């Protein structure tokens, strides 16, 4: 569990120098410290509360993440959005996982 654990900051900030990729699976962006969120370049976002969507929208400087009509808070079960840092060109549309 990450739970804003400051001892994990080096994992987030140094792992790329060893040519590794870090995958983080969690429920909320607020579970990560800001310096941890700063290291994320690709985000697969499932349904979020409006407050959580605003955290990611601010982090990625992408207002589409928290858009009241099409943002992460509007997603249905199994739907998700994919965002890449610095990519404001790619259209945002919900993608869907197959049900179990």
Whole-number pLDDT of residue 27: 85
Query: Does residue 46 fall inside a structural domain?
Result: yes
| Look-up of token digits 């001892």 | 7
**CATH at 64:** 3.40.50.300
- pLDDT, tens digit, 9 for 90 and up, residues 10-60: 999 998 888 888 999 888 899 999 999 999 999 999 999 999 999 999 999
Query: Does residue 1 fall inside a structural domain?
Result: no
Per the structure, the count of domains in the chain is 1
pTM: 0.84
Query: Does residue 75 fall inside a structural domain?
Result: yes
What band does 1 get if pLDDT is binned at 50, 70 and 90?
A: confident
Q: Which domain holds residue 74?
A: 6-96
Kindly tell me if the per-residue pLDDT of 64 is higher than 90: yes
Q: Number of C-alpha atoms within 13 angstroms, CB side, residue 41?
A: 5
Contact yes or no for 32/4 (Cβ under 8 A): yes
């Amino acid at each position: 569990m990450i739970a804003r654990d400051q001892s994990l900051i080096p994992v987030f900030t140094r792992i790329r120098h060893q040519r590794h990729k870090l995958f983080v699976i969690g429920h909320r962006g607020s579970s990560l410290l800001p310096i941890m969120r700063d290291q994320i370049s690709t985000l697969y976002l499932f349904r979020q509360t409006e407050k959580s969507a605003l955290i990611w929208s601010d982090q990625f400087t992408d207002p589409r993440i928290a858009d009241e009509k099409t943002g992460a808070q509007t997603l249905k079960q199994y739907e998700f959005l994919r965002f890449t840092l610095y990519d404001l060109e790619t259209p945002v549309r919900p993608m869907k996982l197959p049900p179990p």
